[in-house]
Amino acid sequence: MTKTSRTRRGLLVAGAATAGTVLTTGASGLLSPASAAGLAPTPTMRGGANNYRAGAPIVDRIGGGGFLMSGRVRRAGDGAPLSGIRIQIWAHTTEGHERDLESHGATLTDADGMFRMDMPQIVPAFGQPHAHLAYDADFDDNGFQTVFLRPVMSSARDKSLSTEFVLLPA
């Protein structure tokens, strides 16, 4: 059931974004395709895919843990939470560089679309304390478009970081 509504929504989103002729949504749809489609998808951030090692295993925790990376995954358009979505996480931490395989791990979102990863403390690297997250369509069967994020911590002393994916059906 969710599968069909996802597809229908996908058509709506695509239709509104490209043609701009979704008259059923009213005049505002012509002015702003994004608002006509509801929740806008998260674009891939610059540098988001840097040092990505595709296909990291799903793990309970990366390394020794101690830092909480969390977030929410929703569907573009209606904003419905997406469960069972694979999110891969990596960063420069107290235990390793971004490129190190041990710095990478993946997790799945729960029924509310939330994910949490216990990982080593992120430390500033290349000028900013930041994390990398991926929704990679090649390693997930839910059928959304690939998105890479690179959120920056407001302080290097933070013990947690949260972010959000809004995914667009492929």
Partner 1 sequence: MASARTLVVWAALAAALAVPVAVAATSPLLAWREPIYILAGFAGVIALCGLLLQPLLAGGYLPDVSTRRGRRVHAWVGGGLVLAVVIHVGGLWITSPPDVVDALLFRSPTPFSVWGVIAMWAIFAIALLAAFRRRLRLRPLLWRALHLAMAVVIVLGTVAHALLIEGTMGLISKAVLCALVVIAALKIVYDTRPSLAALRRKA
Binding site for partner 1 (CB under 8 A): 45-51, 92-94, 97-99, 123-129, 150, 156
82 vs 161 by CB, closer to partner 1: 161
Of 9, 139, 158, the C-alpha closest to 70 is 158
CB of 93 to partner 1, least distance (A): 7
29 vs 151 by CB, closer to partner 1: 151
65 vs 81 by CB, closer to partner 1: 65
CB of 155 to partner 1, least distance (A): 10
CB of 151 to partner 1, least distance (A): 10
Longest dimension (CA), the chain: 54
Q: What are the contacts of 95-103 at 24+ separation with CB within 8 A?
A: 95/63, 95/64, 95/120, 96/63, 96/120, 97/51, 97/125, 98/50, 98/51, 98/125, 98/132, 99/51, 99/53, 101/53, 101/56, 102/62, 102/63, 103/62, 103/63
CB of 44 to partner 1, least distance (A): 11
Amino acid occupying residue 26:
G
Q: How far apart are CA 117 and CA 104, in angstroms?
A: 11
CB of 57 to partner 1, least distance (A): 22
15 vs 96 by CB, closer to partner 1: 96
48 vs 169 by CB, closer to partner 1: 48
